[in-house]
Amino acid sequence: MANPIIQVRGLRKVYRIGREQVVALDNINLEIPAGEVCCIVGTSGSGKSTLLNQLAGLEKPTRGTVLIGGRSISALSENELARFRQKNVGFVFQSYNLMATMTAMENVAMPLIFRGVGKMRRERASRRILKEVGLLNRARHKPSQMSGGQQQRVGIARAFVAKPKIIFADEPTGNLDTRTTIEVMRMMVRLCKENNQTLILVTHDTEIAQYADRIVTIRDGNIISDVPNETPVAHLGESEADGAAQEELEDVDAIAQAVGLMKPENTEAAETAEGEMDE
Ligand code: ADP
Ligand code: MG
């Protein structure tokens, strides 16, 4: 494969809780070329979120490597990883992860603050991307004053505002109705294609997978199928958004961690301790 942006080799992730062992990823090998919209599909518990967290360097693998742009991310320290994510990665979540006390505009501008971009340029870039997602007229609204679909469009604007090379989306339409799902999927694919960004999308929904250039299916932590999608759903047009409720998030640090802008709290060091003992 010419110039893969992501290379995964022999990736394995075992969680340990007390004496219990969960093999979340068994042996994953995968190459993703720059500019591809790749969908990882699988049922609940198949290891999708674990894989995404490994690709983004949010968790350390038990074994194997993840190379991004040819560079092994496991060689990076937590601080280097946080900087790497600030520079190269955007995230979109099922639960939006917006700051409840901030306006749409302020939420969108967050990654630019972490990149040290000045106020004027931040506002210009945020305005531009809010316009792209059709929400310029909601720039001063708080998340609670917007529908679920609108909130997810703010989430998308935040993920794209700094033009990261890679966007990770974990069940981005999981809380949305059918019409809003179509709108959100089209929007993400369109933005990626416009700027030759790579989108790794995770979902349990095989219909969502039809938007991707390639569909990778995982089961029990292994890839069971990896096929190109010859006829990805067109990514044109826009429509109205619809509603869904959201848990209010108030803590800037928690959000910044959740969206990959800060290094995560060292919570699961115990489970992810090196290696597996009894194999
Ligand atoms: P999916 O996103 O496909 O629903 P996950 O990647 O979240 O699946 O989980 C895969 C498996 O790993 C599941 O059996 C889940 O219970 C387990 N798992 C995920 N995260 C953890 C964790 N932090 N600690 C222990 N087990 C986990
Ligand atoms: Mg998941």
| Number of the ligand closest to the Cα of 53 | 1
71 CA to middle of ligand 2, Å?
26
**Average pLDDT of the chain to the nearest whole number:** 88
pLDDT digits (tens, 9 = 90+) for 89-100: 999 999 999 999
Give the tokens for residue 179.
Answer: 């019409």
61 lines ligand 1 (CB under 6 A): no
Query: If you take atom 20 of ligand 1, which residue's CA is the nearest one?
Result: 50
Asked if 28 and 190 count as a contact pair (C-beta separation under 8 A), the reply is: no
What residue ranges define each of the domains in the chain, with the CATH number in brackets? Answer: 4-258 (3.40.50.300)
Provide the pLDDT confidence category of residue 138 given band limits of 50, 70 and 90: very high
Length of the chain: 279
**What type of residue is 234?**
A
CA distance 184 to 152: 8
Ligand 1 close to Cβ of residue 50 (< 6 A): yes
- CA proximity to 166, closest of 263, 259, 35: 35
Average pLDDT in the 126-134 region? 95
Whether 203 is in the pocket of ligand 1, judged by its Cβ within 6 Å, is: no
Instruction: Indicate which residue's Cα is closest to atom 26 of ligand 1.
Output: 15
Measuring CA to CA, which residue among 38, 53, 17, 28 is closest to residue 227? 38
Does the structure show a pLDDT above 90 at 217? yes
Question: Tens of pLDDT along 62-94?
Answer: 999 999 999 999 889 989 999 999 999 999 999
Closest ligand 1 atom to 43 CA = 3
H-state helical runs in the chain:
48-55, 78-88, 104-114, 119-132, 148-160, 178-194, 206-209, 252-258
pTM for the full predicted model: 0.86
Q: Which strands sit side by side in the sheet containing 214-219, from one edge to the other?
A: 89-93, 166-170, 198-203, 37-41, 214-219, 222-228
pLDDT, residue 254, reads 74
Pocket probe for ligand 1: among 15, 58, 94, 171, the residue whose CB has the most ligand atoms within 8 Å is 15
Condensed to tens digits (0 to 9), the pLDDT of residues 159-181 reads: 999 999 999 999 999 999 999 99
d(CA 240, CA 47): 33
Residue with CA at minimum distance from ligand 1 atom 18 = 24
Q: Strands of the chain (E only): list them.
A: 4-17, 20-33, 37-41, 63-68, 71-72, 89-93, 166-170, 198-203, 214-219, 222-228
pLDDT at 243: 34
